[in-house]
Amino acid sequence: SYNNGAYIHCKYNILGHIVKVQNILFKNCRFAKVDERGYTSKIGYHPNFCNDDGTKFDKNKIRWYDIFNKNANVFYKRMKKAGSIKNYKGQVYFCFLDNQYLYPLSPFDPSYMDADTESQMAIHRNNEVRNGFTSKTIIGVPEYPISEEERAKPDFVEPEPMGEEIESFMGSDGGKVLVVEVPVDDEGNIDSSKALDVKEIKTNINSKLYEGWQKEISNNIRKSASALPLVLIEYEDGNLGSTSGEAIIQATEFYNQMTKDDRAVISNCFKEIFSNSANPILKNNENWKIKELSLYKEKETEEVKKQVITANK
pLDDT tens digits along 76-123: 999 999 999 999 999 999 999 998 888 999 999 999 999 999 888 888
pLDDT-derived band at 168, boundaries 50, 70, 90: low
Helix (H, G, I), strand (E, B) or coil at 180: strand
Distance CA 182, CA 144 (A): 9
Distance CA 74, CA 117 (A): 49
Indicate whether 191 pLDDT > 70: no
Indicate whether 275 pLDDT > 50: yes
Sheet holding 91-96, edge to edge: 18-24, 5-12, 91-96, 63-67, 42-45, 29-31
Distance CA 298, CA 313 (A): 23
Indicate whether 301 pLDDT > 50: no
Indicate whether 158 pLDDT > 80: no
Distance CA 19, CA 4 (A): 26
Q: What is the pLDDT at residue 297?
A: 60
Helix (H, G, I), strand (E, B) or coil at 31: strand
Which of the two residues, 63 and 243, has the higher pLDDT score? 63
Distance CA 248, CA 186 (A): 76
